[in-house]
Every structure is written in C-alpha cells, then in structure tokens.
Structure 1
Amino acid sequence: MSEAKDLIKKMCDLQNSTEEIQKEMAGWSGVVQYKLDGEEFYVEYKADGTCEFKEGVHPSPTFAIVASPDFWAAVLKGQEDAVSGFMMGKYKIEGNIMEAQRLAGIVKKFQGKFNL
C-alpha cells in the first residue's frame, strides 16, 4: 500500500471518529475515485458527514484523481498545493472539476488540525 493510500484511509478513519470533522463535512456527498499508478480505490462521502473507504473502481464517481502516489502523499501532508499542482499538470482530475475543489477544502481541514 502506498503512503498516499494509507493517508487517505487514515483521513476517512479520522473523519468517522471525529464529531467536529463530521459536522464540517455534513451536507456534502460524493465519491472521490483515486487512480494512483495502478492502485484504484475510492472514498464515498455521505451527507451525514461520515465516509467509507473502498477498494476498486466506483461505477460513477463524482470525480477521479489521477496522480503519482508520491505527489498525492505530498499534497495530503501539505508539502504540495493541490490547486497549483493541477495547474502545473502534476496530476489530472477526471469528472466534475467544480466538485473537486471541495476536496482541496477537505484536505486543508485535515492539514490544519491533524498530523497526517
């Protein structure tokens, strides 16, 4: 398992066990598919503020992140900026790019409060 996949799973576990994060996430639902150099998995975000980490490919994700595991781990740890990385072509977004902006907000919430 790549460090990026491990961090994404950890973020989902933290979200499910932390009422503060659930309150911040409540009201948004969607599926984020990750394609990290052969690793394919997704996170289902639910309107109640919880999430589920699942292996494989979702049939209709809200959007997909296509990146190298090393780059995405750096984004999750705050060493790379997701927006500038996208603009510079360091990774791709497939699907609803507007909803993908929500992910940047999610990542920043974790970076500010939890040591990933």
Structure 2
Amino acid sequence: MSEVKEVFKQMEERFDADAASGVDEIFQFDIDDEYWHAIVSDGKCEIVESEHDDPSVTLSMDAETLQEVMSGETDGMQAFMAGRIKATGNMMLATQLTNLFPVA
C-alpha cells in the first residue's frame, strides 16, 4: 500500500462525524501524481482515489507534507504559509480539515 493511500485510510478512520454536521463539501487532494477526494456530506465521509469534477477546495502538496500535516507533526496553516500546500477554491474549508480529521 502506498504511503499516500495509508494516510487517506487513516483519515477515514479518524473522521469526526459530529464535526461534519451540516458540512456538504468536496475536498480534492492533488498529492504528487495521485488524485484523491473526500466527499463530506450529512455527517459521513467517503474518500475516493480519483479526481473530482467540481471540488469545493483543491489542496496540492507532496506526499511528505500530507503525512506530516495529518500526523500532527506539521501545522497545516504553517505549511500553507510556507508554500508547501497550495489551495484553490474555497480556502476557508481547508481550515476545517483539522476538525473533520482530528490528529490521533
């Protein structure tokens, strides 16, 4: 299993349905040459290995940054400010990711 696939598997396991109440958004992740998206709707989360046609926000980063942010080793906002994460679309949604997928 690829490192990226493992990170998304962990994200699915850590998903906080309570934090997702009222959220109906699609988070696109462009990780190196892999494309993933998380559909968060009605307190549920589905993570799919593919590119979405109309994501709410798209986050681009390398696999190392994804791993560091999702493990809590690196703060997502700091990584964004340092240019390690690029965001397009509704950038405010990116700030919700730490609530939706809390670090273990």
So what's the TM-score if we normalise by structure 2?
0.88
Structure 2 spans left out of the alignment, 5+ residues: none
- Measured against aligned partners, the alpha-carbon deviations of 1:8-57 in whole angstroms (never above 9, x if no partner) come to 22221443xxxxx212321111111110000101110012x111111211
Task: Give the Cα separation in 2 of the matches to 1:60 and 1:95.
Answer: 10
- Relative to total residues, which structure has the larger helix share, 1 or 2? 1
The equivalent of 1:38 in structure 2 is 33
Structure with more relative contact order (C-alpha pairs < 8 Å, separation 6 or more): 2
Identity of aligned residues (%): 27
Query: Does the aligned pair in 1 maintain the 2:17–2:44 contact within 8 Å?
Result: yes
Deviation at 1:104, TM superposition (A): 3.2
Structure 1 spans left out of the alignment, 5+ residues: 16-20
Query: Does the aligned pair in 1 maintain the 2:30–2:36 contact within 8 Å?
Result: yes
| Residue correspondences, number | 104
Structure 1 residue runs of 4+, over 3 Å off?
none
- Measured against aligned partners, the alpha-carbon deviations of 1:51-105 in whole angstroms (never above 9, x if no partner) come to 1111211010011110000111000001101001101111101111112211133
**Equivalent position SS for 1:93:** strand
Task: Give the Cα separation in 2 of the matches to 1:73 and 1:79.
Answer: 8
Instruction: Give RMSD over aligned pairs.
Output: 1.6
